A and B are shown apart, each in its own frame.
Chain A
Amino acid sequence: MISGLPATPLAAVGEVGEGFFHERTGETLPCQARPSHLFCWDWATENIHRYGTPTVQQFELVIISVAIGFLVAFAFALLAHRYHLLQWPLLAGTGLLFAIPSVAFFLLLLPVTGRGRETAIIALSAYTLQIIYRNVMSGLANVPESAKDAARGMGLTERQILWKVELPLAVPEIIGGLRIATVSTVAIATLAVFAHAGGLGTQIYSEANLTFPTAIIIAGTIAIAMALVFDVVLLTVQRFSTPWRRAEAEATA
């Protein structure tokens, strides 16, 4: 176990040096060590770099999950548009996935897909399905019959009508759904820490930080900012895509 440390002129190896022990009494306690503090600017400016990797991880999680969710939901919607029988099952199915709490979803997947990013991505993608699916369906359903009739009158096939008339008119609402899905995913992705997938949740749910308002505020602010950036970018795309009318399409969620 412990044996005598070799006698050397300098401090022996294994013994910490002088001044290793910080004085921590009342006055010398730094901001973050005091019990009731709200925000410690010094700590924030010194440690902001800690949030770099988690932010990138969160960003990746969101992008990949929304991308996958969009592709799947879009495909579902096109299918349901064609085969009306599928509409209710698909809506119910995606709604079911949406209702399952994320933490539970992660835990249910963990034994199957293992700790890490894949588990989180699968669960996060599942959440986006319902919103995007509903919005695509709603967008397509809101296409005025007159437009379709005119197209039919001009001799377009059903498939041409879908791609040249229906979808373009539905795009604003589709992107509206994407906006909602993305913003929600940014918020939920903080829980990815429970699936051991990294992200901003690691800066909140670590034992030292759970009662550290500064860390929580920073992580929360970054998440909200990320969501807003996504929202604005998508809003711009939404506006760009329909110059002939104001891109309204505020879908109810």
Chain B
Amino acid sequence: MTPALLPHPSFAGFAGAFEFIFSKQESSVTGGKKVGGIEQVLELAWTQIEVSLLALAVALLIAVPLGLWFGHKGAGELVAVGLGNAGRAIPELALIAFVAAIIGVGIVPLTGALAVLGIPPILTNTFVGIRQVDRAAVDAARGVGMTELEIMRKVELPLAVPSIMTGVRGASVNIVATATIAPLVGVLTLGDFILGENVYGVNGVVAGAIVTAILALLFEFALAGVQRRLTSKGLRLQAQ
């Protein structure tokens, strides 16, 4: 067997990375099996999308009702806003590592940790969004005879959508970013390429970074689109 040392350029150039994304490459440590290629890239990307959406959903389910309730009542400003500030300060790496050490590894603890990261911005923004709803509109609704629940659902919530969506977008940025390092705790996402220079080579690392960035941007665009659709026409005109 002819021993061969794979070339290690200091900067492979993005060409090598793009090659890695689309076609399988040799690796020095796999004993002949190729790595990379569009299949593996999509597989890891899909896992990252899945776990991010799941965490985002959990965060929404918890944070929106809470924010709605407190905003409607007009109480708990300190908690809602304070939590938002404090939540921003949580170092993602510490949270993930902590959850892995204490609770365990795998998709469930990871989703929990990611949801914890996503709750503060959504909670704060929902609260602020509801508070900013024109009191006159709420009073008018009450005058017409709507119940509290109906007011929350039909008046306050739609008017707060821009603010809520801003929070969701902020949360998703954090969640998708943190999901990148999930391979450390048992869930294979695009971070596998980034952290596995041994197996994937420098091309794989750069490829991983590129695909991760693209994925994050796709999320951002998708959510921006959702925001536009959910924002009622009146609000859209008003914003302009």
Q: Residues of A with Cβ closer than 8 Å to B?
A: 38, 95-96, 98-105, 107-108, 111-112, 180, 183-184, 186-188, 190-191, 193, 200-201, 204-205, 209-213, 216-217, 219-220, 223-224, 227-228, 231, 250, 252-253
A100 CB contacts on chain B under 8 angstroms: 212-213, 216-217
Please determine whether A180 and B88 come into contact, CB atoms closer than 8 angstroms: yes
B27-35, B37-45, B97-105, B230-238 - interface stretch: B97-105
Contact A95 B216 (CB under 8 A): no
Known: A38-B102, A100-B216, A210-B97. A219 touches B91 (CB 8 A): yes
A250 to chain B: which residues have CB within 8 Å? 81, 128
Tell me whether A108 and B213 are in contact (CB under 8 A).
Answer: yes
A253-B166 contact given A101-B212, A104-B194, A190-B93, CB 8 Å threshold: yes
Please report the C-alpha to C-alpha distance between residue A38 and residue B103 in the assembled complex, in whole angstroms: 11
- Which interface residue of B94, B167, B191, B206 has the most chain A CB atoms within 10 A? B94
A63: min CB distance to chain B, Å: 16
Query: Quick one: given A107-B194, A107-B205, A252-B167, are A187 and B173 in contact (CB under 8 Å)?
Result: no
Residue of B86, B92, B220 near A190 (CB, 8 A) is B92
| Nearest 10 interchain pairs by C-beta | A101-B177, A227-B89, A220-B94, A190-B91, A104-B212, A107-B209, A104-B209, A111-B11, A99-B220, A100-B213
- Do A252 and B166 touch (CB < 8 A)? yes
Which A residues are CB-close (under 8 A) to B128? 250, 252
Majority-rule SS of B interface residues: helix
Contact B88 A187, beta carbon cutoff 8 Å = yes
B198 at interface (Cβ–Cβ under 8 A)?
A: no
> Does any Cβ of A come within 8 Å of B180's Cβ?
yes
Across the interface, do B213 and A187 meet the contact criterion of CB distance under 8 Å?
no
- B88 A216 Cβ-Cβ under 8 A: no
The minimal Cβ–Cβ distance linking A105 to chain B, given in whole angstroms, is 7
Q: In the complex the two chains form, is B98's CB within 8 Å of A220's CB?
A: yes
| Distance of A188 Cα from B117 Cα, bound (Å) | 12
**A187 partner residues in chain B, CB cutoff 8 A:** 88-92
- Contact at A105–B88, with CB atoms within 8 Å? no
Chain A residues lying within 8 Å of B180, measured Cβ to Cβ, are: 101, 103-104
- Nearest chain A CB to B91 CB, angstrom units: 4
Closest chain-A Cβ to B96's Cβ sits at a distance in Å of 9
Residues of A within 8 Å of B205, CB to CB, are: 107
- How far apart sit A227 and B180, CA to CA, in the bound complex (Å)? 24
Given contacts A98-B173, A99-B216, A220-B98, 17 further A-B contacts (CB under 8 A): A95-B220, A100-B216, A104-B209, A104-B213, A187-B88, A187-B89, A201-B91, A204-B94, A216-B94, A216-B97, A216-B98, A220-B91, A223-B91, A224-B86, A224-B91, A227-B89, A253-B166
CB distance from A186 to the nearest CB of B (A): 6
B90's closest neighbor in chain A, by CB? A187
Closest to A235 in B: B85
B118 CB within 8 Å of chain A: no
For A98, A108, A180, the residue with the greatest tally of chain B CB atoms inside 10 Å of its CB is A108
B202 within 8 A of A: yes
- Whether the pair B85, A183 counts as a contact (CB closer than 8 A) is yes
How far, in angstroms, from A227 to B85 measured CA to CA in the complex? Answer: 9
* Cα-based distance from A200 to B213 in the complex (angstroms): 24
Measured in the bound complex, the distance between the Cα atoms of B98 and A219 in whole Å is 11
* Alpha-carbon separation in the docked complex, A95 to B169 (Å): 11
**Restricting to B72-89, which residues have a CB under 8 Å from any CB of A?**
81, 84-86, 88-89
Q: Once bound together, how far apart are the Cα atoms of A205 and B191, in whole Å?
A: 15
Chain A nearest CB, measured from B161 CB (Å):
12
Please report the C-alpha to C-alpha distance between residue A118 and residue B186 in the assembled complex, in whole angstroms.
Answer: 31
**Complex Cα–Cα for A108 and B176 (A):** 17
User: Contact between B86 and A205 (Cβ–Cβ < 8 Å)?
Assistant: no
Report if B208 contacts A (CB, 8 A): yes
* Structural contact, B202 and A111, CB atoms closer than 8 A: yes
What's the minimum C-beta distance from A192 to chain B, rounded to whole angstroms? 10
Indicate if the CB atoms of A205 and B88 lie closer than 8 Å. Answer: no
Minimum CB–CB distance from B24 to chain A (whole Å) comes to 21
Complex: chain B residue closest to A223, CB-CB: B91
Closest CB of chain A to B189's CB: distance in Å?
10
Contact with A along B160-172 (1 / 0, CB 8 A): 0001001100100
* Contact of B89 with A224 in the complex, beta carbons under 8 Å: yes
Contact check, A191 vs B93: say whether CB atoms are below 8 A apart. yes
Give the CA-CA distance A195 to B124 in the complex, in Å: 31
Beta-carbon contact of A101 and B91 below 8 Å: no
B152 CB-CB contact with A under 8 Å: no
Q: B167 near A184 (CB under 8 angstroms)? A: no
